[in-house]
């Protein structure tokens, strides 16, 4: 089961406590997954096609208090496979419910604009968005490239949905494709906030857990890269110091060098693979790391001055 399906299963169990919220959620689902057909005789049919039985059951539970006993069908449609269709026909009560949910105007014409009277309050707006996501929403799984989307057929409805989501603090954009219109966001924070706003709290926790893992992994990689870079710099410095010691100590002029400088050269020659800090601890008497590093740099300078540096 995809992450989108898991989110929808969780959302299908979320039912607003108030009638206005339930009606707004029903409206969002009808707009999100409904196909509106008008027969030659002027008869209306609305088919709500969904892939999850949980979503079909949620739709039926929203219709039942309104006195609507809708027909349920299962259809096999390649390449999507088995789908569930809830069909509303031309009965008087069905038409009334379609009007009450903003699908049909008072003149019984199909509407594509957002039913503003149903989404005035924040709770109703969130319920409408929840229904729309159940019908036509999708979201990438945690850890993948972020993409949250509502895929609809009407540019007018997509624009209205984007405005509604902005009211709820979520910045979505609209783009038209060949056969549909997408209301989408590619921001991780927006996608996570969308899950929370819709009521998919378990999915939001999974999203946040993955986000934490990604941040920890990125930090570990940065530290590992930093450690590797430091190790490479230290290795190059040790090699320069070793070459300088090998060049300076056999030279007759080495006798005139300060004792501390000769001792540093001999220490590097004896322990070529130790870090400067480890070398400093082996000096007699022990030196600070900075003091030994200063002497080794002076040793490299002497080798260059004598023309003995490789």
Q: Which long-range contacts (CB under 8 A, 24 or more apart) does 198-204 make?
A: 198/7, 198/11, 198/14, 198/126, 198/129, 198/130, 198/133, 199/10, 199/11, 199/14, 199/126, 199/130, 200/7, 200/10, 200/11, 201/10, 202/10, 203/3, 203/6, 203/7, 203/10
Q: Which pLDDT score, from 0 to 100, does residue 118 have?
A: 92
Indicate if the alpha-carbon torsion angle 121, 122, 123, 125 is positive or negative.
positive
Q: Which pLDDT score, from 0 to 100, does residue 36 have?
A: 78
Least confident of 94-108, 121-135, 202-216: 202-216
The residue-averaged pLDDT of 73-87 equals 79
Q: Could you count the other beta carbons within 10 Å of the beta carbon of residue 31? A: 29
Q: How far, in whole angstroms, is CA 304 from its chain's centroid?
A: 55
The average confidence (pLDDT) of the chain is 85
Q: Which pLDDT score, from 0 to 100, does residue 207 have?
A: 81
In 168-185, which positions are buried (b, 16+ CB within 10 angstroms) versus exposed (e)? bebebebeeeeeebbbbb
DSSP 70: -
Band of pLDDT at residue 193, cut at 50, 70 and 90: very high
Helix (H) or strand (E) holding 299: helix 289-305
Band of pLDDT at residue 277, cut at 50, 70 and 90: confident
Picking from 230, 215, 59, the residue whose alpha carbon sits closest to that of residue 132 is 59
The residue-averaged pLDDT of 97-115 equals 83
For residues 28 and 31, give the distance between their C-alpha atoms in angstroms, rounded to a whole number: 5
Q: Where are the domains of the chain?
A: 3-199, 220-305
Asked if 78 and 90 touch (Cβ cutoff 8 Å), the reply is no
CATH code at 3-199: 3.10.28.10
Asked if 187 and 193 touch (Cβ cutoff 8 Å), the reply is no
The residue-averaged pLDDT of 226-255 equals 80
Tens of pLDDT, residues 45-69: 788 888 899 999 999 889 888 888 7
> In residues, how long is the chain?
310
Kindly tell me if the per-residue pLDDT of 33 is higher than 90. no
Q: Which pLDDT score, from 0 to 100, does residue 158 have?
A: 94
Which two structure tokens, joined as six digits, stand for 262?
């000769």
Q: Which pLDDT score, from 0 to 100, does residue 226 have?
A: 76
Least confident of 144-148, 203-207, 225-229: 225-229
Band of pLDDT at residue 42, cut at 50, 70 and 90: low
Q: Which pLDDT score, from 0 to 100, does residue 112 have?
A: 83
Least confident of 95-99, 229-233, 243-247, 271-275: 229-233
Least confident of 14-23, 37-46, 106-115, 155-164: 37-46
Tens of pLDDT, residues 135-162: 999 999 888 888 999 999 889 999 999 9
Cα dist. 30→85, 129, 228 in Å? 12, 11, 57
Q: Which pLDDT score, from 0 to 100, does residue 68 have?
A: 81
Q: Which pLDDT score, from 0 to 100, does residue 166 have?
A: 95
For residues 131 and 133, give the distance between their C-alpha atoms in angstroms, rounded to a whole number: 5
Kindly tell me if the per-residue pLDDT of 247 is higher than 70. yes
For residues 189 and 116, give the distance between their C-alpha atoms in angstroms, rounded to a whole number: 27
pLDDT above 90 coverage of the chain, percent: 34
Helix (H) or strand (E) holding 110: none
3-state secondary structure of 43: coil
The reply to whether the predicted model has a pTM over 0.75 is no
Kindly tell me if the per-residue pLDDT of 310 is higher than 60. no
3-state secondary structure of 121: coil
Vertex 38: Cα angle to 36 and 41 (nearest 5)? 160
Picking from 138, 106, 125, 174, the residue whose alpha carbon sits closest to that of residue 23 is 125
Q: Pick the residue with more confidence: 59 or 35? A: 59
Vertex 45: Cα angle to 19 and 78 (nearest 5)? 105
């Amino acid at each position: 089961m995809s992450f989108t399906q898991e989110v929808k299963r969780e959302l299908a169990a979320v039912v607003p406590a108030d009638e206005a919220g339930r009606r707004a959620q029903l409206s969002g689902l009808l707009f999100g997954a409904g196909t509106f057909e008008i027969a030659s005789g002027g008869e209306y049919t609305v088919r709500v096609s969904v892939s999850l039985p949980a979503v079909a059951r949620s739709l039926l539970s929203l219709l039942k208090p309104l006195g609507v006993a809708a027909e349920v069908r299962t259809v096999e449609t390649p390449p999507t496979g088995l789908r569930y269709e809830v069909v509303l026909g031309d009965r008087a009560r069905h038409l009334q419910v379609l009007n009450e949910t903003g699908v049909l105007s008072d003149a019984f014409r199909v509407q594509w604009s957002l039913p503003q009277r149903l989404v005035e309050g924040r709770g109703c707006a969130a319920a409408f968005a929840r229904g729309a996501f159940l019908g036509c929403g999708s979201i990438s799984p945690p850890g993948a490239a972020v993409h949250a989307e509502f895929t609809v057929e009407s540019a007018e409805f997509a624009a209205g949905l984007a405005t509604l989501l902005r009211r709820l603090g979520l910045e979505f954009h609209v783009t038209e494709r060949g056969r549909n219109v997408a209301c989408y966001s590619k921001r991780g924070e927006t996608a996570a906030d969308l899950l929370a706003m819709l009521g998919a709290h378990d999915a939001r926790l999974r999203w946040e857990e993955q986000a934490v893992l990604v941040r920890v992994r990125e930090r570990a990689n940065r530290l590992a890269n930093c450690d590797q870079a430091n190790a490479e710099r230290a290795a190059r410095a040790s090699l320069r110091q070793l070459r300088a010691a090998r060049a300076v100590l056999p030279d007759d002029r080495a006798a005139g060098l300060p004792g501390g400088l000769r001792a540093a050269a001999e220490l590097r020659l004896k322990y070529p693979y130790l870090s400067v800090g480890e070398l400093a601890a082996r000096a007699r008497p022990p030196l600070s790391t900075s003091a030994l590093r200063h002497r080794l740099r002076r040793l490299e300078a002497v080798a260059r001055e004598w023309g003995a540096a490789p």
